[in-house]
Structures are given as structure tokens and as C-alpha cells.
Amino acid sequence: MRRVIPAIVLSAIGFYFVWQYEPGAADDVVAQPPPTVIPSTPAPTTSSSSSSGTTSTPVETTKTVQGSAERNPHGTVQVQVTFTGDKITGVRFLRLPDTGPSRMAGPLLVQETLREQSAQVDTVSGATQTSDSYVKSLQAAIDAKGA
Amino acid sequence: MAVTRVEQVMGFPVSVDLRDGEPEDADRVFAWLHEVDLRFSPFRLTSEVCRYDRGELPEVSDDLREVLDLCSRYERDSGGAFRARLPGRPFDPCAVVKGWSVQRAAAMLRDSGLSRFCLNAGGDVVTAGEPTDGQPWRIGLRHPGNANEISAVLAVRDGAVATSAAYERGQHIIDGRTGLPAYGLLSITIHAADLTTADATATAAFAMGAEGPAWAAAQPGCQVYAVDSDYRVFRSPELPVIR
């Protein structure tokens, strides 16, 4: 039983170094996907989806755009983005180095429409940098009301 | 007891909302921020920052060292988009000092045993606990096109929210890589555990322009709400939006 703890600790240390290992720029060659994986058309491809009926509703077009290959210290990253209308509906990595940091750094942002609303809030975040704009701001109204 | 107070410090209004504090606690917050203004303003010729810039300081204080380290870190992490030192201008650490000093004020309040408060420095917010039992602080994000409206509401207990935008002082944030005003974003809001991180990340991301939101979302512990010049919103899925 006493051997179990050192064994776990050593395994954890070993795993840490494996996790931290970065092959560096050498992985670029490996990361280059075969031509069958990358769509061979770098130019945007456009296709129309069905629009309902004969009314003059705007046609929702789907467009796929390939980003440029960007190098960073961990390797090369390239993405492909699909737009439906003017919304991003899909993001796919064409190239991603096989190292930890980049794998974790593919943060995904969702797109939505900007809304205008007047909800109850306790405070307001925004660039309120002048006293003149403060006087007219929502934050001033909140401060005037008190807690 | 509840204390609320507003004062103009460092060139912007600072609102202090203490739900379990005393007037003396608010006094200490403002005393510290006034001290920061005197020591770190690039516009006061006798400030520590100006004397440092002219090479007149015999030694660098711990506080100044912290600020200098933060400046270098964000300059490096943003690939030079954020710069405290722009050609032909005096050293200007304002973008870092604001978040750092207000976060320090929050730590002072916590050390005195306060657990429910909200500090808002020119639109950059740090909160603690809950304003009333069971309810988080509701932080409205200003609509970039309309000062009287908000575009989203975040629910935050212990955390920070900072916004960088060009809708007030115009294009005052310079992209350090080009030396030109940053463009591509109308505003960017960062939610992080502390205001030092949130404020510096928001400023650096705004300076980066269109690529700023993705960069900011990749920074550890940062969540993003960005409005680009086409009025499109890009946000982190895990951002605590309640409305």
C-alpha cells in the first residue's frame, strides 16, 4: 500500500512532462493535412438554400471561407468559417498543432444580434470617461437613487 | 449599513456602493484612489510615473514595479497592440493603473471584513457577494450606440467586468502595432475574476480590433462580449448573461 502513493506521484510528474511537451515548429509538416482534407477551392463557395414560397423574402445564402494559415510559436493554425446570411454558423479548424496550449485555445464565440433594452440593473459597465457623459448616464441615475 | 458615494477621481466618476460598510470604508477607497492619481498620472509632472519616465527615481516602488510588470505582460501577450509607451508620447500606464488600483481598493474592503459591495470606476466594475440575499449583482452593459440603453445584463457575485469602447472619447485607443487608432470594434467587455485582468484585457483586445474578441476569449479566465463595427455581437457561450 505504501508503494501506491509514490507510484501515483511519479506517474503524475511523468504525465505533466508529457502534457507540457511541445514539438515546436517541426509539427508543421505533420499538421499539413493532405489535399483531400482541405477543400481545394480557396475562393468562397456560395450555395443558396430554399426560400419559402414565391414571396420576396431574402434568400439565405451559405458561404464558406477559408482563413489564412497563421503561425504562432506552437505551430500553424488555420480555420474555415461558414456563414449563413451574415451569421457565422460554423467554425472548423483545418490545421491545429498537436500541442496542449493551442488545443485549449480554440475559444468559441457565439454570434447574436445586438439588443436594446432597459432592464433593472445595479450598475452599468461601459466607457464612461467624462463627467459630462456621466451626468447623462444610467449610472448617474442609479447613483442618485441610492442602494 | 449601506453607503453609496460618487466622486470624480483620475478623470472619471467612481461610484462606491457598500451594502455592509461604513462611511469610513468609502473614505479609504477614495483616499487610495486619490493617492494613485497623484502617483501614477502621466499628466502630473511631479507624479512617480513622470519622474520614472524622466529617469529621476532613485528606486522603483513595489506598486510601480507591479504596474510596469503588468504593462510589459499585456504588451507581450497582445503582440504589441497594447502599448504603454507610444512613440513621441510620455509613458502612459493609465489603461493598466485603473483596473489595478480599483482591484486593490476592493481587496482593502475585503480585508476590513466587507463582503457585499460594488465599485464602478468609469464603467469598469468590481463586485463582491450579493446586493441582497440570494441575488447576484446585475451589471448592465451599455449599448454602444445609445447611452440610455443597455444591450445585455450579466449576473455576477464575486468578479469584475470592464469595457473598452470608442463611443465617448472618440478613437483614443491606439493600436500599438500600427500607431493608428484601433478600429474594427465598437466596444468590448471582459468578465474575469479580478478587475486588473478584465481592464487590461479589454483595452488590449480593443486595440487589436477585429481579432481582439477571439484573443481575449483565449486569455485564461476571461469571458467576452464584443460588438463589432457592423453591430454584431460575439460573446463567450459561458458568459453569465441573464437578459
Of all helices (H) and strands (E), which one includes residue A123?
strand A123-125
> What's at B128, amino acid-wise?
A
- Cβ(B3)–Cβ(B75) below 8 Å: no
> Region B188-200: what's the mean pLDDT?
97
In a mutational test of the B interface, the residue from A113, A123, A129, A133 whose CB has the highest number of chain B CBs within 10 Å is: A123
Distance between CA atoms of residues B217 and B151, nearest Å: 19
Judged by CB atoms closer than 8 Å, whether chains meet at A127 and B152 is answered as: no
**B45: contact with A, CB 8 A cutoff:** no
Do A127 and B236 lie within an 8 Å CB cutoff? no
Consecutive H or E run containing B154: strand B146-156
Candidates A122, A140, A128, A142; CA nearest to B139 is A122
How near does any CA of chain B get to the CA of A125, in Å? 4
- Report CB contact under 8 Å: A130, B217: no
- If you count DSSP H runs as helices and E runs as strands, how many of each does chain A have, helices first? 5, 7
Nearest to B151 among A114, A127, A147 (CB): A114
- Number of helices (H) and strands (E) in chain B: give both, helices first: 6, 12
pLDDT tens per residue, range B64-92? 999 999 999 999 999 999 999 988 888 99
DSSP state of A24: G
Residue A91 backbone zone (phi > 0: left; psi -120 to 50: alpha; other: beta): beta
Q: Which domains are seen in chain B, by residue range?
A: 3-235 (3.10.520.10)
Tens digits of per-residue pLDDT, A65-110?
787 777 665 566 677 777 777 766 666 666 665 544 444 445 689 9
Helix (H) or strand (E) holding A133: helix A131-135
Report residue A18's pLDDT band, with 50, 70 and 90 as the boundaries.
Answer: low
Cβ atoms within 10 A of the Cβ of B70, count? 21
% of residues, chain A, pLDDT over 70: 38
Residue to substitute from B8, B12, B116, interface A, most A β-carbons within 10 A: B12
Mark yes or no for CB contact A147/B13 under 8 Å: no
- Partners of A139 on chain B (C-beta within 8 Å) are 13, 15, 120, 123
Q: What pLDDT digit, counting tens, does each position of B113-134 carry? A: 999 999 999 999 999 999 999 9
